[in-house]
A and B are shown apart, each in its own frame.
Chain A
Amino acid sequence: MHVEAQVRAKLLTNTEQYSQITDDIARPIEAAPNKEWLFWTTISAIVMTVCCFGLIGYLLWEGIGVWGLNTEVGWGFDITNFVFWVGIGHAGTLISAVLLLFRQTWRNSINRSAEAMTIFAVLCAAIFPGIHAGRTWDLIWFAPIPNTRGTLWANFNSPLLWDVFAITTYLTVSLVFWYLGMIPDFATLRDRFTRKGKDVAAGIYGALSFGWEGSARNWSRYEIISLILAGLCTPLVLSVHSIVSMDFATSVVPGWHTTIFPPYFVAGAIFSGFGMVQTLLIVMRRIYKLENYITMEHMENMAKVVIATGTTVGLAYMTEFFVAWYSGSFFERYVFINRAFGDYAWAYWIMFSCNVLSPQLFWSKKIRTSMTATFILSIFVNIGMWFERFVIIVTSLHHDYVPARWANYTPTWVEFGIFLGTFGLFFTCFFLFSKFLPVINMFEVKTLLHRPKKPSGIPEGKKDEAVHAH
């Protein structure tokens, strides 16, 4: 007897022609910018300029004192935002690299925007280690470059220095991977603009495409290099946030000094990253009418990743509490009791309910397939993960070893402003990307057109029958 496994639903819906894919994806680039796009891009650019750049200028002029930090709580919004943005980047790398290696072809329609998100998120993140330092202008001393200062070099024992290497490596590799993936698509756009006689646009995309010809040799090299880069990116998914977590784990501060941090941070990063991908894609697929490429199956798959990682994070929260009790460490116990019931208990319970409880709703297929519900839950995930970092950083510092030096931290408007400003920066970049670059990887999506080869058992009308015939 011949038994066949249940056939998966098609990855692209209502799509028959290769040209249709090109047309759909090139449409926003070729069309004149619509008013909605202009409006939101302008708003984001204003927020970016005023809140991010303007307030950073004010900060550099006046000093770190314009923030609400104090002797006890030396890091607050600055490092919270840093870890938050770095974490968001992780989903992009996971989708583009890890899923490529695991041959999860469904990733093909979301990897481009997820990678873009990674890069813009890492850009936002990179601002904070820069501006949180009292003397930003001297940060060049982090660089282990030959200099005239004698034997004085960077301190390789310091996790902050590891951060610098981790983040710059991550940004570089992600940027190269992202750009490389766009080269064939740039060539497509170049050819389309050439046909339409738009020489300037054709010239720009032509330069960006590095003279891509679409020859067999081009493709062969392309596939090899993207596999190599995927291989390089994969350890970065684990290493970057592990190293970020070591900023805390290698310290002696109770609540920071925990060996669980690297895996816990990586799970959290992927969790928050997928939350952000959901938020962005729900908006993007709707505005640019990409529902046929970013299908319900994509949204469901991502919701499943969110359940898995959210639950992992929840397990980590509980493990921390168990170990705090089991270790018998007096300070550790106090910090965790203080976290859940102390001055910042509200932040802890926001974190816990957003990160552990709200993703559980995704077990219901109804909620997974409702874009409104998914959008709201994805925002909760983002909020929860921001609070996770806030809770870890602030509650551990504000009551540590010496009770005589316990203090609370209240952020100022400058901190809120700069945080808002990074959203301006992020969305400005993302809107520009969605207008001027192909938001979906055209040539990779085309490989999915006839895949899986057999249609699913669920009849979807005549269009599927056409594929049958194929």
Chain B
Amino acid sequence: MITLWDSHYKEENANRLIRWVMAIDLNKCTGCGACVVACNAENNVPVVGKKEIMTHRDMHWMRIDRYYSGDLDNAENVSVVFQPMMCQHCANAPCETVCPVLATVHTSDGLNSMSYNRCVGTRYCANNCPYKVRRFNWFKYHNNENFDFHQNNPLGKLVLNPDVTVRFRGVMEKCSFCVQRLQDGKLRAKVNAKQTDAGAFAKPKDGAIKTACQQTCPTGAIVFGDLNDPESEVSKLFRDERAFTALEEVKTLPSVSYLTRIRNQKADEVKVNHAEHGHKEEEHTEKHPS
């Protein structure tokens, strides 16, 4: 795989580093949305209220995209597919190259990281994101009477996760793969390891770190781990023949792989028609997975 960050991977010890990736099995996913709620709670995602949701200013880091296919006038024939969507942590991230102040950069463990303190809020990254997963703080959502939700009262603030920054208005945010958990897990592994050269590269055991969405997923559709470890569960899933990445043709090289959904349908029931794809907003057809 060629990435913008090849030099990272070619460095000595590069394969001893972690490469965080996620696999989502669409066969297992029921679209329940528990992951969305878990993510909100874990990452202090602000609640913004109906008015802002209506103007497409939701702050969710994770969402379930829905697509309809079939005869839209006949409700019985409509089939629905859905896809959990969050930051794909692309190896060729379009958002990273356009940020003028390097507020969003790639980490050595393959994350597309976001430094809130550095962000000036040009929103260029969000425009250039093919997955539309970046969220902008249009207002100050905490301690603001206009957003009288949990972040505006002392009791509600007890819900906030102390390991995660509450973002200021004017900055961009997005899924971080629960970086606070990753850092915690990495440090614990290093602390527990012996003080040797190998210890410096100590990795947490496969499955020891779970992202909030993964932890909450009732069907275990989300698997997270290290791609540099060929034996990790996620590596095996990445090698699965069902694995695909979203919008492959944009060449963003995502760190999230989806495992395509297998459906037992007759050929004439499947109406996957790219040409119809989205002439009207109601006519969304299924995104072809492969």
- Chains A and B are bound partners: yes
Interface residues of A (CB under 8 A from B): 62-65, 68-72, 74-75, 132-136, 138-139, 141-142, 152-155, 157-161, 164, 247, 250-253, 330, 334, 337, 397, 399-407
Partner of B127, one of A74, A141, A158: A74
- Asked if B126 is at the interface (CB within 8 A of a chain A CB), the reply is yes
The 3 closest A-B pairs by CB, nearest first: A134-B121, A134-B170, A65-B138
A253 near B127: Cβ-Cβ < 8 Å: yes
B56 near A134: Cβ-Cβ < 8 Å: no
A334-B138 CB under 8 A given contacts A160-B100, A160-B124: no
Partner of B124, one of A69, A152, A158, A403: A158
- Asked if B136 is at the interface (CB within 8 A of a chain A CB), the reply is yes
B100 near A161: Cβ-Cβ < 8 Å: yes
Contact with A along B31-63 (1 / 0, CB 8 A): 000000000000000000000100111100001
Total count of chain B residues near the partner, CB < 8 A: 52
- Tell me the smallest distance from the CB of B9 to a CB of chain A, in Å: 19
A63-B250 CB under 8 A given contacts A134-B119, A135-B171: no
Residues of B within 8 A of A164 (CB): 100
Residues of A within 8 A of B118 (CB): 141, 152
B101 near A62: Cβ-Cβ < 8 Å: no
Interface residues of B (CB under 8 A from A): 52, 55-58, 63, 65-67, 85, 94, 97-102, 118-124, 126-128, 130-132, 134-140, 168-172, 247, 250, 252, 274, 277-279, 281, 284, 287
B139 near A62: Cβ-Cβ < 8 Å: yes
- Tell me the smallest distance from the CB of A133 to a CB of chain B, in Å: 5
Cα-based distance from A457 to B63 in the complex (angstroms): 76
Identity of the chain B residue whose Cβ is nearest the Cβ of A142 in the assembled complex = B100
A71 near B56: Cβ-Cβ < 8 Å: yes
Identity of the chain A residue whose Cβ is nearest the Cβ of B105 in the assembled complex = A155
Q: Chain A at the B interface: mostly helix, strand, loop or mixed? A: loop
A141 near B97: Cβ-Cβ < 8 Å: no
Residues of A within 8 A of B134 (CB): 71
Cα-based distance from A64 to B55 in the complex (angstroms): 14
B120 near A404: Cβ-Cβ < 8 Å: no
Residues of A within 8 A of B58 (CB): 71
B135 near A154: Cβ-Cβ < 8 Å: no
A157-B97 CB under 8 A given contacts A65-B57, A71-B136, A141-B118: yes
Cα-based distance from A154 to B287 in the complex (angstroms): 38
B136 near A154: Cβ-Cβ < 8 Å: no
A403-B277 CB under 8 A given contacts A64-B170, A134-B119: yes
Cα-based distance from A144 to B169 in the complex (angstroms): 25
Cα-based distance from A155 to B97 in the complex (angstroms): 8
Cα-based distance from A64 to B119 in the complex (angstroms): 14
Cα-based distance from A247 to B123 in the complex (angstroms): 12
Residues of A within 8 A of B247 (CB): 401-402
Cα-based distance from A407 to B126 in the complex (angstroms): 14
Residues of B within 8 A of A247 (CB): 124
- Tell me the smallest distance from the CB of B281 to a CB of chain A, in Å: 6
A-B contact pairs, 26 of them (CB 8 A): A62-B139, A63-B169, A64-B138, A65-B138, A70-B55, A71-B126, A71-B136, A74-B124, A133-B120, A134-B119, A135-B120, A141-B118, A142-B100, A155-B97, A158-B100, A160-B100, A160-B122, A253-B127, A253-B128, A330-B274, A401-B250, A402-B65, A403-B67, A403-B287, A404-B66, A404-B284
